[in-house]
Amino acid sequence: MADVRVKICGIRSPADLAAVVAARAAYVGLNFFPKSPRFVTLAEARTLALAAPEGLCKVALVVDADDAALDEIVEAMPVDMLQLHGKETPERVAGVKARYGLPVMKAVGVADEGDLAAVLEHSLAADQILVDAKAPKGAALPGGNGLAFDWRLVAQRRWLRPWMLAGGLTAANVAEAIRLTNARQVDVSSGVESAPGVKDSAKIAAFAKAALGPAVPILR
């Protein structure tokens, strides 16, 4: 599954970053939602962003952030992509793209077939779509809850934009999720943690190995 790309979201330390790099992930997510156990301050995120190697896509995750909050993030550190994980409208997505000139990934929560229309709607504005499990009513977090949805809802579907599968993925089920849905990108946060907000390097490695397959040795 060498053509699959992995995103590890919600890192908080240099050790987390090192584990992401070692796992051959394509994306790393920095979470700026204060209610999340994975929240990082601007100073913490800047340190991690500056230490990230070239080629690793640095994604800033926000939830219904206003322009002032986004300005602070973009001005404080090198960011490659913005992830909007709240109730942002397609118009807001388009406005963010225009203001910052950065690719935007829009998260869309899915629980049943009725939620799929929003995937298409946001595909008209966003550069990528994160198809995630819809948070339960009253949940404090819009994502990162460790919940999965019925993958058959998105099995073999083609969208207008590249998309990423998220929600309840772990090393134990990600290969099956990829096989069933034909997702070319997968996102994980709580599935590689030993406790909420605490990344586990062994779990990160196991997840990436399950999603990507074993590393191919370089012959010299």
The candidate with the shortest Cα–Cα distance to 27, out of 210, 204, 215, is 204
pTM over 0.75: yes
Cβ neighbour number for residue 129 with a 10 Å cutoff: 22
Structural domain contains residue 217:
no
Which residue numbers are catalytic? 9, 132
- Which amino acid, 133? A
Show the DSSP H helices in the chain as ranges. Answer: 14-22, 42-51, 67-76, 90-100, 116-123, 174-181, 201-212
The CA-to-CA distance between both ends of the chain, in Å, stands at 24
pLDDT per residue over 65-118, tens digit each? Answer: 999 999 999 999 999 999 999 999 999 999 999 999 999 999 999 988 898 999
Domain that holds residue 61: 5-212
Structural domain contains residue 219:
no
Structural domain contains residue 220:
no
Does residue 153 contact residue 132 with C-beta atoms inside 8 Å?
Answer: no
Structural domain contains residue 104:
yes
Structural domain contains residue 131:
yes
pLDDT per residue over 168-217, tens digit each? Answer: 999 999 999 999 999 999 999 999 999 999 999 999 999 999 999 876 55
The CATH code of the domain that includes 28 is: 3.20.20.70
Bridge partners of 29? Answer: 9, 59
Taking 80 as the threshold, does the pLDDT of residue 143 lie above it? no
| Structural domains of the chain, count | 1
